[in-house]
Amino acid sequence: MDGWCSVAGHRQMGMTLTVQATGVIDDRAHTGHQNDAEAVSLTSSDVSRSLGAHPDAGFVAHDPVVPATSADHRITLAATDEQREVAPGITQRLWTFGGTAPGPTLRGKVGDIFEITLVNDGTIGHSIDFHAGSLSPDEPMRTIEPGESLVYRFTARRAGIWMYHCSTMPMSLHIANGMFGAVIIDPPDLPPADREYVIVQSELYLGPEGGEADATRSSPTIRISWCSTDMRTSTTTIP
Please choose, out of 39-47, 67-75, 178-186, 217-225, the segment that lies near Cu ion by the rule CB under 5 A.
178-186
Given 80, 96, 105, 168, the residue binding Cu ion (CB under 5 A): 168
Distance CA 222, CA 239 (A): 7
Please choose, out of 6-14, 159-167, 187-195, 211-219, the segment that lies near Cu ion by the rule CB under 5 A.
159-167
DSSP bridge pairs for 36: none
Distance CA 228, CA 214 (A): 36
Torsion-angle region of 171 (φ positive above 0: left; ψ -120 to 50: alpha; else: beta): alpha
165 part of the interface to Cu ion, by CB under 5 A? no
Question: Under rule CB under 5 A, which residues in 114-133 are in contact with Cu ion?
Answer: 126
166 part of the interface to Cu ion, by CB under 5 A? yes
DSSP 11: T
User: 2-4 and 160-165 as β-strands: parallel, antiparallel, unpaired?
Assistant: unpaired
Given 80, 174, 180, 206, the residue binding Cu ion (CB under 5 A): 174
Distance CA 180, CA 130 (A): 10
Nearer to Cu ion, 89 or 211 (CB): 211
Nearer to Cu ion, 32 or 147 (CB): 147
Smallest distance, Cu ion to C-beta of residue 156, A? 23
Query: Which residues touch 192 (CB under 8 Å, ≥6 apart)?
Result: none
List of residues contacting Cu ion (CB under 5 A): 126, 166, 168, 174, 179
